[in-house]
Amino acid sequence: MGVAGCGKSSLGRRLAEACGFTFVEGDEHHSASSRHKMQAGVALTDEDREGWLNTLGNLLRQDPDGLVVTCSALKRSYRERLRQASPGLRFVFLEIAQDAAQARVSGRGQAHFFSASLVESQFATLEVPTGEPGVLRVDAMAPLPQLQTQVSTWLQSGEAA
């Protein structure tokens, strides 16, 4: 979880492969209207995210034994909804500075529907998961192999962090 540009998809794919879990790219489950809004630089509302969170929750319920889902999960209420769908769900919070996230998203060009103009709104919406159970906070700027090892070790340890 984390803001756009923090590396959720890159780490998620790598982690799923290393752990033998199914990988779900959360962005693929946004509605067409939400994708159009983001492409146009319009931030999503809680109402826009309603169906998306329901879909991700259903996917978590269907595969309780091993699934890696990328999801911004910017607000605690979003994380709580996902936890309700999958008790024991754990989150990896990829922490990144706003300027670094902006540079990464801007570097995507047309390869992704998310407009770089929305990075600031992501940081404005973000409720950092400090003190929440089952959250591992990592430095999104660390090398990908290091992040994958760190997260894999944490998941195997069974610690709530």
| Confidence at residue 65, expressed as pLDDT on a 0 to 100 scale | 73
Measured distance CA(108)–CA(117) in Å, rounded: 13
For the cut 60, the answer to whether the pLDDT of residue 160 exceeds it is: no
Token pair, residue 151, equals 């997260």
Tell me the whole-structure pTM to 2 decimals: 0.89
What would the 3-class secondary structure string for 67-90 be? Answer: EEEECCCCCHHHHHHHHHHCCCCC
- Compute the mean pLDDT over every residue in the chain, rounded to the nearest whole number: 89
Measured distance CA(118)–CA(115) in Å, rounded: 6
> Nearest Cα to 27, choosing from 43, 42, 17, 38?
38
Encode pLDDT of 16-48 as tens digits: 999 899 999 988 898 888 888 877 878 888 898
Q: How confident is the model at residue 120 (pLDDT cuts 50, 70, 90)?
A: confident
Q: Which domains does the chain have, with CATH numbers?
A: 8-157 (3.40.50.300)
Q: Is the distance from CB of 45 to CB of 37 less than 8 angstroms?
A: no
